[in-house]
């Protein structure tokens, strides 16, 4: 196994998606954001995940342009994700939201565009819009976020194109096995947001014990667990050292026993909203 941040999984349409990326949720526009994205690219990250609602697409775009110039990176080496917000779900409004995100990011296309939340009576129509954008060649891959099995089934009833990715809250306390198995069986790549449970797992005795065994941090162990479970992961950090640390997970491997012990920490415990009752 190589220590390789550019390691990718292949989506069912042939697009290659890095196993690890940088998330920028709750990172406000400004130098901290620009620096974080640039640090990540400088240290080998190729995947950056943002969303319209984060209000930071312009800063992410600025960082991408500066990084490309300063580090000689080409656009096609990067994998950029954004998401359509709930208020913009609908056929025409979703297409317009995509154009707005592109404009703010200053890009010609996105590698992945997701429906952020499965808002009742809206997400099926929004999916039709994503299919249109995809068929017109304006985006490399399309998917969803926070979808449960019944949401996915609803979309796939009439869809011409099934989602390529489902990005959900996923960490050792919330393994969403039912959704993961459904995605695995249907060729939908599983992706974790909040993989470190916003730091709430750093004191977990079992995780600390496993981390000590490999001379790694708890964060590295969790991210390694993601990858070995076949889950793409996008830890958020703005600190250069942490960004580097989060990426050094390709030079060790958890045993089957470690993996099972971590899987058994599941308590179906969410830190984010429940997709079945969204009121935002």
- Rounded to the nearest 10 degrees, the angle between the axes of helix 91-105 and helix 123-135 is 60
What does the block give as tokens for 72?
Answer: 């000689």
Query: Given 45, 54, 98, 170, which residue is catalytic?
Result: 54
- Rounded to the nearest 10 degrees, the angle between the axes of helix 31-42 and helix 57-71 is 40
Active site (annotated) includes residue 98: no
Cβ–Cβ under 8 Å, residues 161 and 15: no
Q: How many residues does the chain have?
A: 280
The torsion region of residue 176 among left (phi > 0), alpha (psi -120 to 50) and beta comes to: left
d(C-alpha 224, C-alpha 222), whole Å: 5
Which of these, 195, 173, 203, 188, lies nearest to 268 by C-alpha position? 173
Alpha-helix residue ranges (DSSP H) falling in the chain: 31-42, 57-71, 91-105, 123-135, 149-158, 177-185, 205-214, 218-228, 240-247, 256-263
CA distances from 67 to 44, 105, 128, 197, 219 (A): 11, 14, 34, 29, 26
Positions annotated as catalytic residues are 54
């Amino acid at each position: 196994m190589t220590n390789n941040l550019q390691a990718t999984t292949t989506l069912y349409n042939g697009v290659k998606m890095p196993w690890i990326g940088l998330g920028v949720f709750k990172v406000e526009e400004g130098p901290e954001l620009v620096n974080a994205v640039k640090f990540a690219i400088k240290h080998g990250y190729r995947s950056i995940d943002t969303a319209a609602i984060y209000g930071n697409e312009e800063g992410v775009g600025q960082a991408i342009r500066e990084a490309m110039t300063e580090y000689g990176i080409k656009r096609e080496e990067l994998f950029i994700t954004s998401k359509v917000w709930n208020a913009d779900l609908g056929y025409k409004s979703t297409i317009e939201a995509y154009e707005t995100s592109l404009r703010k990011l200053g890009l010609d296309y996105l590698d992945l565009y997701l429906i952020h939340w499965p808002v009742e009576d809206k997400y099926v129509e929004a999916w039709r819009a994503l299919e249109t954008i995809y068929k017109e060649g304006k985006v490399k891959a399309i998917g969803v976020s926070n979808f449960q099995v019944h949401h996915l089934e609803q979309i796939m009833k009439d869809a011409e194109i099934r989602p390529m990715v489902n990005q959900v809250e996923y960490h050792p306390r919330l393994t969403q096995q039912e959704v993961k198995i459904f995605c695995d069986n249907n060729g939908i790549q599983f992706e974790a947001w909040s993989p470190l449970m916003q730091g709430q797992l750093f004191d977990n005795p079992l995780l600390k014990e496993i981390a000590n065994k490999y001379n790694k941090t708890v964060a590295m162990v969790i991210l390694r667990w993601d990858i070995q479970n076949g889950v793409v992961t996008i830890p958020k950090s703005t600190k250069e050292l942490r960004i580097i640390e989060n990426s050094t997970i390709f030079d060790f491997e958890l045993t089957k026993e470690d993996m099972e012990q971590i899987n058994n920490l599941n308590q179906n415990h969410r830190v984010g909203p429940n997709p079945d009752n969204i009121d935002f």
